[in-house]
Amino acid sequence: MSLLDLVRKGAALAATGALAVALAGCQGIVASQTGSQVRIIDASPDAPGLDVYQNNAAIAYNLGFGTVTSYVSIDPGTYTTTATQAGTKQVLTTSKATFVTGAQYTVLIGNAAANLQQLILKDQSQAAPSGQIGLRFIDQATRISAQDIYLVPAGQKLTAVTPIYTNITFGINTGYLNIPTGTYTLVMVPTGTVPASDTIATYTGAQVTYTGGSVTTIIMIDQQIVTTPGLQVITAPDYVSPTATS
């Protein structure tokens, strides 16, 4: 059975800025039973530093491109989340959403500054199924064409595996994909590329060993200060197994 088949089977089975709270070591990320948790991700390649407020309370100051805050606890309720230019009250983008008890959320601020937008995402706060990991890919790269996503197992070559997701473009959220626990290299190539020994990937990451049960969000973002458009990724842990070691 191919990796893609296993992903599909798993899916069927499973239906910093200031004020950010630091995680202690590799502890699990578990939503409070009496409140909500929220983090902020700045994926806009050209927006200024951002101060972020929920209603009138500041939850992050002077966020820069590629920043992922830790989760902070908030009271459940409906909030207007506002991103302003750092140090000013100039509103750049707002959104309104209800945050419920015991849930984790990401406020993703992305797109070019001229069209800045917010996405409110509900994050997975429990472990992936036994023997699997959960990965969610979100494309916020404004200058890159459609890509196919590969996870190349340790000891294998790109030419020997099939993509876990094809034709991802700006704004797409894959949702959580359940994948067998293992050590993988993330590779992305333009959609429709048939990998060969001389294929030049748009992105090739470091080899990563994923802990069983872990859940991670991977955001595709632009590279900055390059002569041609490039792609990089930032990762945000949604759930870390309490038994994981640093």
pTM listed for this prediction: 0.85
Q: Which of 6-10, 20-24, 134-138, 159-163 has the lowest mean pLDDT?
A: 20-24
Q: Please, which pLDDT band fits residue 227 given cuts at 50, 70 and 90?
A: confident
**Is residue 33 scored above 70 in pLDDT?**
no
- Helix runs in the chain, H state only: 3-13
Q: Is the pLDDT of residue 1 over 60?
A: no
Domain boundaries, the chain: 3-14+126-239, 36-123
How high is the pLDDT of residue 10?
45
**170 CB-near residues (< 8 Å, 6+ apart):** 139, 140, 141, 142, 144
Res 7: pLDDT = 46
Q: Check: CB of residue 43 under 8 Å from CB of residue 224.
A: no
**One fold for 3-14+126-239 and 36-123:** yes
- Strands 215-222, 231-239: parallel, antiparallel or unpaired by DSSP? antiparallel
Please provide the average confidence, as pLDDT, over all residues in the chain.
88
Residues facing residue 111 across a β-bridge: none
Give the lowest-confidence range in 55-69, 86-100, 192-206, 217-231: 217-231
Return d(Cα 188, Cα 184) in angstroms, integer: 13
- Both tokens of residue 45? 């390649």
What is the predicted pLDDT for the residue at 134?
98
Please give the pLDDT value at position 17: 37
Fold entry, domain 36-123: Immunoglobulin-like (2.60.40)
Q: Tell me which residue of 72, 75, 106, 139 sits closest to 238, measured CA to CA.
A: 106
Give the pLDDT of residue 24: 28
Q: CATH assignment of 3-14+126-239, given 1.10.1220, 2.60.40, 1.10.1660, 3.40.50? A: 2.60.40
